[in-house]
Amino acid sequence: MEATILNPQVLESYVDAPVAPAIKERRRPMFTGNEDHDISLAEASRLTRNYRERAGKNAIKGGFFGQAAMQQLMDQDGVVGIRYYYAQENDGRPVMILVGVDANGNDLADGFLLERSVPCPPFCGYFNELNS
């Protein structure tokens, strides 16, 4: 059997060729706390109306969180925003869980959490485009 001698330039091109990673690394969003969440009253009204029409007459439309609780959530070290989770009480009542989020998009679940909102209804304030 004859030995095959590879050209050193060919061999070098194989050795230096980039190798693709076996698993593509997932990039996390970098949150700043300055993301744009603006919505017009007309659009917000359309969205809440869609929900109310499908949810039924006596459904929970929303809830109120006080300023002090919201400020406590936001004042935690590293918090740049808030994430919400849909949840449900044992009696079927829908609730919202709020948690602080850091710049890497991680929930600060070991910190201060909010839920016990004041439900609408019955505490909805005056009728407006968002609740009626």
The pLDDT tens digits for 71-110 are 999 999 999 999 999 998 898 888 899 999 999 999 999 9
If pLDDT is split at 50, 70 and 90, which confidence band does 58 have? Answer: confident
Percent of the chain scored above 90 by pLDDT? Answer: 39
pTM of the model: 0.70
Question: How would you write 67-78 as a 3-class SS string?
Answer: HHHHHHHHCCCC
